[in-house]
């Protein structure tokens, strides 16, 4: 799952899933509150944020001026260990003013000069050993260096030249929290970064707490930007791509029910981990939805991985869940990440062929999972670069995507695999969004001012990574994709393609 949802296949998250599981059966209620997201006819736009189609289901490129990366003026982790009966609540202590908003911590003038920005790099040190196709052809740092060089060649961000400061991580580490704490110390103490931007392979409370304590905005590009409780707890955190854990669950369930993939007659099996408060998010958001639609399910829960050493329990937990679901006649499985890859491999070996519903990551599975299982999968995703391969994108290259790739091309970087495109687009969007926020504040890097500017910009932001380039914020979720769409296996090309209508991301 090295772009952890984004790319489900990276070995990061194969370091997932524990050694034992807990099965829970849940009944259903009789009332039905309907579907949360609005539904469009195939080919229709959504709230003016997604390009309309030409009637064939393909969305044309966005019009308008190209988003530059110069002035900024235009505008996980898997599971592990034994299952537990209680849900985690996350760590406490992030500096707030009592209402969940950021307290004033330091003053930052609007003067020109230079600015230090933090970028987290991920080495997938265990990918090759695990035999996983990581879908990446060059390191993270090469992309960040190219973007920083580009913005500085154009005068910097809001007149400030950018210096990159890197926090290095490796999925092969036995203790992710320790290396993330070291990275945060480097970013906030050894250096004084004004923001941290881009992809992070896992959500770690202590890391977000460290950034919040230092009053450093985090424009998070990883798969799990916390659940709704953590987004309130960490006021410096906002997402440049993914919804909260709650929102991710609801997108899959809304899409699957709307498409008739999951009904009151389904025998649904659910496999979740506790990363980013996954258990409590499921209880808070998914359980009421399932009950309202009279859907009975079996739930298997595992803890969240804390390091690569947890990989030893991954196969056992997934195999246990697969055997339970098969024995109980489960016909539809809700699962994601590398856990899904392992589940499919076990199911294929046992002759078990359930339907699957999941979120992002079809392109990653396409390169790694058994063919007889892939045709049973129905994804509800919001990142085209990892939902479908580069040859089967749902619409032509947008202006934001073209601008991003042009910057990389100047540095001799040519994306080829799905993670290349995903990481490039997320990185460009993060730098662009921060640059626009900095321009909006007149160069003031104060974290409160930046956070307010980011939230003000997101409704009209047109990025490269999310479906249609759109983001959306709500009272419970700062940022993340505004829309999602169903993708399915197409036998003719042996690939995944978007086929369903574009839908609004449900607000948790």
Q: What is the CATH number of the domain that holds 469?
A: 3.40.50.2300
Residue 92 is predicted with a pLDDT of: 34
How would you classify residue 131: left for phi > 0, otherwise alpha for psi between -120 and 50, otherwise beta?
A: left
Instruction: Let me know how long the chain is.
Output: 508
Residue 133 lies in a domain: yes
Query: The domain containing residue 180 runs over which residues?
Result: 99-244+422-482
Residue 16 is predicted with a pLDDT of: 30
Residue 478 lies in a domain: yes
Are 379 and 6 contacting, i.e. CB atoms less than 8 angstroms apart?
no
Residue 129 lies in a domain: yes
Residue 41 lies in a domain: no
Using DSSP bridges, classify how beta strands 355-358 and 377-381 pair: parallel, antiparallel or unpaired: parallel
Give the pLDDT confidence of 235-255 residue by residue, as tens digits.
989 999 999 999 999 999 999
b/e string for 379-413 if b means 16 or more Cβ within 10 A?
Answer: bbbbbbbbbbbeebbbbeebbbbebbbebbeeeeb
Q: What sign has the CA pseudo-torsion 352, 358, 361, 362?
A: positive
Please state the domain count of the chain.
Answer: 1
Residue 174 lies in a domain: yes
How would you classify residue 43: left for phi > 0, otherwise alpha for psi between -120 and 50, otherwise beta?
A: left
Using DSSP bridges, classify how beta strands 355-358 and 297-304 pair: parallel, antiparallel or unpaired: unpaired
Residue 137 is predicted with a pLDDT of: 80
Taking the whole predicted model, whether its pTM rises above 0.85 is answered as: no
**61 strand-pairing partners:** none
Residue 132 is predicted with a pLDDT of: 53
d(CA 131, CA 69): 36
pLDDT by position in tens, the chain (length 508)? 333 333 333 333 333 322 223 333 333 332 222 222 222 222 333 332 333 333 323 333 333 333 334 333 323 344 433 333 222 233 333 344 333 444 444 445 444 689 999 999 988 765 555 555 555 788 899 999 999 999 999 999 999 999 999 999 988 888 999 999 999 999 999 999 999 999 999 999 999 999 999 999 999 999 999 999 999 999 989 999 999 999 999 999 999 999 999 999 999 999 999 999 999 999 999 999 999 999 999 999 988 888 877 766 777 889 999 999 999 999 999 999 889 999 999 999 999 999 999 999 999 898 789 999 999 999 999 999 999 999 999 999 999 999 999 999 999 999 998 889 999 999 999 999 999 999 999 999 999 999 999 999 999 999 999 999 999 988 889 999 999 999 999 999 999 999 989 999 998 8
Residue 99 is predicted with a pLDDT of: 37
Q: Which two tokens stand for residue 302?
A: 């595992």
Which of these, 458, 4, 450, lies nearest to 224 by C-alpha position? Answer: 4
Residue 299 is predicted with a pLDDT of: 97
Residue 216 lies in a domain: yes
d(CA 367, CA 335): 18
Residue 37 lies in a domain: no
Residue 249 lies in a domain: no
Residues 274, 280, 286, 289, Cα dihedral to 10°:
170
């Amino acid at each position: 799952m090295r772009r952890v949802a984004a790319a489900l296949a990276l070995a990061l998250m194969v370091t997932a899933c524990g050694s034992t599981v807990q099965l829970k059966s849940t009944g259903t209620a009789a009332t039905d509150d309907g579907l949360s997201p609005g539904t469009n006819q195939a080919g229709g736009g959504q709230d003016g944020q997604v390009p309309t189609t030409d009637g064939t289901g393909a969305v044309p490129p966005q019009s308008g001026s190209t988003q530059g990366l110069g002035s900024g003026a235009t505008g996980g982790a898997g599971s592990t260990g034994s299952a537990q009966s209680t849900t985690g609540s996350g760590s406490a202590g992030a500096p707030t003013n009592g209402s969940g908003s950021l307290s004033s911590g330091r003053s930052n003038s609007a003067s020109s000069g230079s600015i230090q920005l933090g970028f987290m790099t991920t080495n997938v040190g265990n990918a090759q050993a695990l035999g996983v196709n990581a879908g990446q052809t060059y390191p993270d740092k090469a992309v960040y260096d190219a973007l920083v060089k580009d913005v500085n060649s154009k005068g910097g961000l809001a007149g400030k030249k950018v210096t990159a400061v890197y926090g290095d991580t490796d999925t092969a580490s036995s203790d992710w929290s320790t290396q993330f704490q070291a990275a945060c110390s480097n970013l906030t103490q050894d250096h004084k970064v004004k923001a941290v931007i881009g992809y992070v392979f896992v959500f770690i409370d202590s890391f977000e707490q460290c950034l919040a304590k230092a009053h450093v905005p985090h424009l998070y590009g990883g798969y799990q930007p916390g659940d709704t409780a953590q987004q309130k707890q960490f006021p410096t955190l906002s997402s440049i791509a993914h919804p909260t854990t709650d929102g991710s669950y609801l997108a899959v369930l809304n899409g699957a029910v709307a498409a008739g993939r999951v009904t009151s007659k389904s025998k649904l099996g659910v496999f979740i981990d506790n990363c980013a408060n996954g258990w409590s998010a499921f209880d808070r958001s998914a359980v009421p939805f399932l009950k309202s639609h009279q859907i009975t399910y079996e739930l298997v829960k595992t803890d969240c991985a804390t390091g690569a050493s947890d990989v030893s329990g991954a196969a056992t937990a997934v195999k246990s869940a697969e055997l339970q679901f098969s024995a109980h006649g489960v016909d539809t499985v809700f699962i994601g990440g590398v856990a899904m890859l392992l589940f499919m491999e076990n199911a294929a070996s046992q002759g078990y062929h359930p339907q699957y519903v999941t979120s992002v990551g079809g392109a990653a599975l396409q390169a790694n999972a058994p063919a007889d299982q892939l045709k049973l999968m129905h994804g509800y995703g919001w990142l085209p670069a990892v939902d479908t391969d580069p040859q089967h994108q749902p619409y032509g290259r947008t202006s934001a995507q073209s601008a991003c790739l042009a910057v990389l091309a100047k540095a001799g970087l040519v994306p080829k695999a799905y993670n290349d495109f995903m990481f490039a687009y997320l990185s460009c969007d993060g730098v662009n969004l921060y640059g626009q926020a900095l321009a909006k504040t007149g160069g003031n890097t104060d974290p409160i001012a930046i956070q307010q500017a980011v939230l003000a910009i997101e409704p009209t932001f047109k990025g490269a990574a999310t479906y249609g380039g759109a983001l959306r914020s709500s009272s419970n979720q700062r940022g993340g994709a505004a829309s999602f769409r169903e993708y399915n296996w197409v036998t003719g090309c042996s690939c995944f393609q978007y086929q369903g209508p574009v839908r609004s991301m449900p607000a948790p």
